[in-house]
Amino acid sequence: MKFHQPQTLHSIAEIIGVRYIGNSDFPVFGTNEIHRVTPGDIVFVNHPKYYDKALDSAATVILIDKEVECPEGKALLISDDPFRDFNLINLHFTKLNNFRDELHNVEIGEGSFIHPTAVLGNDVKIGKNCHIFPNVVIGDRTVIGDHVIIQANTVIGGDAFYYRKLNGNFDRLVSVGNVVIENQVEIGNGCTIDRGVTDATIIREGSVLDNQIQIGHDTIIGKKCLIASQTGIAGCCIIEDEVTIWGQVGMASGVRVESGTVLLAKCGVNRDLKKGTYFGTIAEEFRDYLRKEVKLKNL
């Protein structure tokens, strides 16, 4: 998430009531998660296991729960609860409407048809010649390109599934990102595409999604991908261009699948995959799987 105008280290520290290390006028441009940070962003970290990853990332402001040596060219915000304060910063700069407020600032391109039963949030942009079917829900800040088809009962821009356990309960990391759907994308019935926590969940140009597909927060689906029904893709994944994913594939958080890959039905993807054809509960090269089956049969 980028702020509407640049902030300073001092102004952010005042918002959340913490002390800081660095120049008071150190520039701050936004917030982001570790996998999408750029210079000027705040990233939070609340476990020693991830200190080095956060400190060495592209982020230049680290919201952290312990005073550590500050890397050159960066600044620290010292908090007793970075998770909580990351939420506070995001909520300070982004209002969550959740369909409570009157519709405003919606742009709809020429030739687009939106069924009267569809529900649109605030600050939504829809391009030209789109077709939005009945009972579609499109959340705040969603951006949809030209010639996009979204079929009935699909939900675009729901909250990210991102929690921590605190005092025996689940505490949500607030989602202030959005969904971006590029030109000529087709999305089937009953799909759910979560918005990013602080950045965008992206479906790139020409991709086609079947019915009943779940795509998690901050995931990027490349160009001209084909995804069959009941596939579940967790958050922060990168599916490169022209990947084919058949039915009931399950994908763990944060994996990357190389362009041109084919995932056969019911694959379980728990790691990055190079280009190839994969099958199995723990995805393996299909030819290797077949060789193994032959050997087992011949035992």
Neighbouring CB atoms inside 10 A of 87's CB total 19
| Angle at CA of residue 237, ends 65 and 229, nearest 5° | 135
Please list the alpha-helical segments (H only) found in the chain.
9-16, 51-55, 82-93, 286-298
From the list 157, 190, 155, the residue with the least C-alpha distance to 175 is 157
Rounded to 10°, the helix 82-93/9-16 angle is 110
Three-state secondary structure call for residue 10: helix
pLDDT in tens, 84-127: 999 999 999 998 888 887 768 899 999 999 999 999 999 999 99
Percent of the chain with pLDDT over 90: 89
From the list 55, 51, 42, 54, the residue with the least C-alpha distance to 8 is 42
Tokens matching residue 63: 């919201």
Task: Report the distance separating Cα 2 and Cα 94, nearest Å.
Answer: 10
Active-site pick, 4, 47, 147, 217? 217
Over residues 10-39, mean pLDDT:
96
Q: List strands edge to edge, sheet with 186-187.
A: 113-114, 131-132, 149-150, 186-187, 208-209, 226-227, 244-245, 262-263, 277-279, 284-285
CATH number of 2-93: 3.40.1390.10
Over residues 176-204, mean pLDDT:
98
Over residues 8-21, mean pLDDT:
97
**Which residues make Cβ contacts (< 8 Å) with residue 204, sequence separation at least 6?**
182, 185, 220, 221, 222, 223, 225, 241
Over residues 78-83, mean pLDDT:
97
**Which residues make Cβ contacts (< 8 Å) with residue 109, sequence separation at least 6?**
126, 127, 128, 129, 130, 146
Q: Which CATH class is domain 107-288?
A: mainly beta
> Tell me, what's the pLDDT at 98?
84
> Tell me, what's the pLDDT at 101?
75
Q: Exposed, middle or buried, 208 (CB in 10 Å: 0-12/13-18/19+)?
A: middle
**Which residues make Cβ contacts (< 8 Å) with residue 299, sequence separation at least 6?**
none
Domain boundaries, the chain: 2-93, 107-288
- Residue 104 known to be catalytic: no
Q: Whole-angstrom distance between the N-terminal and C-terminal Cα of the chain?
A: 57
pLDDT in tens, 204-232: 999 999 999 999 999 999 999 999 999 99
> Tell me, what's the pLDDT at 240?
98
> Tell me, what's the pLDDT at 63?
98
pLDDT in tens, 119-149: 999 999 999 999 999 999 999 999 999 999 9
Is the pLDDT assigned to residue 34 strictly greater than 80? Answer: yes
Q: Judging by DSSP bridges, how do beta strands 262-263 and 277-279 pair with one another? A: parallel
Three-state secondary structure call for residue 73: coil
Task: Report the distance separating Cα 138 and Cα 157, nearest Å.
Answer: 6
Task: Report the distance separating Cα 180 and Cα 145, nearest Å.
Answer: 8
User: Over the chain, what is the mean pLDDT?
Assistant: 95
- pLDDT category of residue 290 using cuts at 50, 70 and 90: confident
H or E element in which residue 215 lies = strand 214-215
Question: pTM of the prediction?
Answer: 0.93
> Tell me, what's the pLDDT at 286?
83
Q: List strands edge to edge, sheet with 238-239.
A: 107-108, 125-126, 143-144, 178-181, 200-203, 220-221, 238-239, 256-257
